Amino acid sequence: MFKGQKVSFSGVQPSGNLTIGNYLGAIRNFKEYSEQYKTFYCVVDEHAITVRQVPADLRRRTYETLALYMACGLDPERNTLYVQSMVHEHAELAWILNCFTMFGELSRMTQFKDKSARHADNINAGLFTYPTLMAADILLYQTDVVPVGVDQVQHVELCRDIANRFNQIHPDTFTVPEAVLPKNGKKIMSLSEPEKKMSKSDENPNAVVYILDDRDTIIRKFKRAVTDSESEVRFAPDEKPGVSNLITIYSCFTGKTIEETEREFAGRGYGDFKLAVGEATADALAPVQTRYREFLADRAMLESQMKKGAMEATCYARDTLARVKKKLGFVQVR
């Protein structure tokens, strides 16, 4: 389909404000793949509605997420950027793949358990079958690699199982994808509870640094970050989870290794270190925020890109879906 070129696919939900965990664990790394891969980066709005959304907020955040993709360096001329709900093949293939996904597999998904606990009043079927829609997202484009954060690896593994199961019955239908994790920053932890992953849905505003937080807010949050009763800046996740998390963040934003960071702050207190992490984060995010505001202000451009991206994605998605339907025995009359 792509004349020998490998494919990369990933997506981000337009629900809630995106955090530096989303940025470091996924979005920042997306542009690296456009050199070697045909890339599809999707605003996965259909995934977002597994949890109740305010329609106006969902629409606004869809624009914002697309603008953020572009602000993080994803050139629309080199990457297919689009909105999931504008390409109906995602939902159509998801239903087909539901019939090749086992109930027990879905019930073991960690995120289903976590979200069910947080949204006990709305444990809907979409929340349960969310990973099958994610599998459809990936398999539609014959994807080779899926850049993800560590919390999505389980879903990509299920996608591989579904693809292999389908291929066993209907050979040579899907490319079996692989999850790829960033070398550093694959899991950014909460600033208030460093044993937990940083989450955009955290009710404690000091636990989370958002990509669009202003400089003063970023620095203030890092100054309040939980560390420990010692004063040594040392990477030891089990003993010193808070400090280790800050070292990881500093390393990601400065490009320095963990060892270089430890040497830089040897003999210095946590106060100096927290300030430096906050400043490094704010400095790195400032140009992203500037570009984001410029893109977001041009609504016509964003809508034009949504249409263009959806048309590009549809060209590839419908070929895969047609092949699947033919193999299943669905009648197709043209």
Q: Annotated catalytic sites, by residue? A: 115, 197, 200
Closest by CA position to 190, among listed 16, 21, 22, 25: 21
User: What SS3 state is found at 260?
Assistant: helix
**CB 242 within 8 Å of CB 271:** no
State the alpha helices, DSSP H only, in the chain: 20-22, 28-30, 45-48, 55-71, 89-98, 103-107, 110-118, 125-139, 153-169, 215-223, 241-254, 258-264, 270-296, 299-328
DSSP string, 136-179: HHHHTTT-SEEE--GGGHHHHHHHHHHHHHHHHHSTT-S---EE
Q: Which two tokens stand for residue 251?
A: 């390393």
User: What SS3 state is found at 37?
Assistant: strand
Rounded to whole angstroms, the Cα distance separating 290 from 213 reads 12
**CB 252 within 8 Å of CB 184:** yes
